[in-house]
Structure 1
Amino acid sequence: METIEKRKWSVNSVLLVLLFTLFGAFAVFPIVTLIIASFKPAQELMRFGLNLKIDPALFSFKNYAYLFTGESLYLTWYWNSLLISAVFTVLCLLLSSMVGYGLAVYQFRFRNLVFVLVLVMTMIPIEIIILPLYKLSITLNLINSMWGIILPFVVAPLPIFFFRQYASGLPRDFLDAARVDGCTELGTFFRIMMPLMAPAFSSMAILQALFSWNNFLWPLIVLRTNEQLTIPIGLATLLTPYGNNFDMLIAGAVLAILPILAVFLFFQKYFIEGMTAGGVKG
């Protein structure tokens, strides 16, 4: 019986490995295709489209050179996206974690109502609130600026909910010990609770950095000049009714993957732990 069970387990393991290998190949296929296409001339892309065909005679770095020569603003767009994503992610993690921590730890009037409102906000599409946000941005003189992109979403409902769920599962003994030692509430949060919430911070750092880096609709509405554009909007300007620069577009898209990939590799250690813990505790 033990031998039969072991064989069943081995067959199941092989099937699972094959299944996940297939899923992994399916997920990686578009990226590999994009990387190969980034070294091909535009004429080749127009004739045959995206494919896995590798012809050394056609491969060159000209597409990448075009991004950094002439009147190209690619480096400016890249810097704008890096700066906005970094500032947005840091502020969003800091403020959202404080709100979520407060909803989880402190007892105050209308606490449950506030939490319900946070949940309701997660169900409202951004398209519904774009007009009032735009009018508010005009009133605050935030149009065509970095802060016009960052401030409207810096305290997001999803991170608040996530941090609240995670903080609800943390032991209260640490809080009591810190208060007995005379630590202030802010000191308790920054010195005690933030290190304990490291997995939650790692998970939300990946998600919020990805959201900010790929954000297209709101920056498209707020930004006005070419020098202020971000990567998604800047690459979209390469497609016009008068000509499509697919070679530069694909090469720019490949380079745009690198920052998010670096963020994921840096925070991946705690990513799964933070997602699972934040989802089941509370």
Structure 2
Amino acid sequence: MLLQTSLALFLSSFVAYGLSLYRFKGRKIVTTLVIFLMLVPIQILILPLYKLMISISLIDTFWGVFLPMIVSPFAIFFFRQYIDGVPRDLIDAGRVDGLNEYAIYFRIVIPIMPPAFSAMAIFMSMQSWNNFLWPLIVLRTGEKFTLPIGLNTLLTPYRSSYDLLIVGALAATLPIIIIFIFFQRYFIAGLTSGGVKG
């Protein structure tokens, strides 16, 4: 969950940075595709993703579970809207000071994005932690099952272990609660904290 969320936040914000600040040929088409992918349910993509995982031998691996979900169209759209609100004076000042585009991203854009990162961290960690359908399709070995799949195996037509199910459900909610407590203080931060004053 931590690896998937971290990579998803970094890659999605990086793509959003490019879509927001650069005017290149095909930019509107890429933005439209991102919005279109937000409307496509994951169930439609399962078969082609499954065939892809077979072709690159990632079935029954943890890489196969989180690699297809590493970049989220919703996160790209969210970060793009946020970066659109970043004052362009900051970006221009960085370029005047001789910063390259990577330095502008890491030293100017990222430090004023904690509210956006915290909101997406909560959303994407919940999505990763509670993902049931895709891991169920990809994973084969019982030892590699994620917690939601493991909890599901406790419910059978012959015997249901409700005592273990309740304890497991509590264990499943604790990481999300901890993440929310850790990141919720950033929600009250200003959208352009650290920006140009006066």
Q: Which residue of 2 aligns with 1:24?
A: none
The worse-fitting range, judged by mean Cα deviation, of 215-224 and 172-181 is 172-181
Quick check: which has more Rg, 1 or 2? Answer: 1
Q: Deviations over 1:63-115 (max 9, x none)?
A: xxxxxxxxxxxxxxxxxxxxxx1011000000000111111111111111110
Contact 1:88–1:154 (Cα < 8 Å) also in 2: yes
| 1:171 alignment partner in structure 2 | 87
Cα deviation digits, residues 199-258 of structure 1 (max 9, x gap): 100100000000000000000000010110110000111111221101100111012111
Runs of 4+ in 1 over 2 A off after TM superposition: 270-274
- Whether 2:87 is the aligned partner of 1:160: answer no
Unpaired runs of 5+ residues, structure 1, are: 1-84, 278-282
Provide the C-alpha distance between the structure 1 equivalents of 2:64 and 2:90, rounded to a whole number of angstroms: 39
What is the TM-score with the length of structure 2 in the denominator?
0.93
Q: Does 1:201 align with 2:117?
A: yes
- Looking at structure 2, the residues matched to 223 and 178 of structure 1 have their Cα atoms a distance apart, in angstroms, of 46
What residue in structure 1 maps to residue 106 of structure 2?
190
CA shift, 1:269, in A, is 1.5
Partner residue of 2:184 out of 268, 273, 281: 268
Residue type matched to 1:92 in 2? Answer: A
1:108-123 equivalence runs, <5 A:
108-123=24-39
Whichever residue aligns with residue 156 of structure 1, its letter is S
Provide the rounded CA distance (Å) in 2 between the counterparts of 1:250 and 1:272: 34
Cα deviation for residue 272 of structure 1 reads 6.0
Structure 2: tracts of 5 or more residues without a match:
193-198
User: Are 1:210 and 2:126 matched, yes or no?
Assistant: yes
Give the length in aligned residue pairs. 192
* 2:16 equivalent to 1:100: yes
**Percent identity between the aligned chains?**
56
| Cα root mean square deviation, aligned | 1.4
1:252 aligns with 2:172: no
AA of the residue aligned to 1:261: I
Q: 1:188, 1:130 → 2: CA distance? A: 37
d(CA) in 1 for partners of 2:161, 2:43: 30
Q: Does the Cα contact within 8 Å between 1:203 and 1:272 map onto a contact in 2? A: no
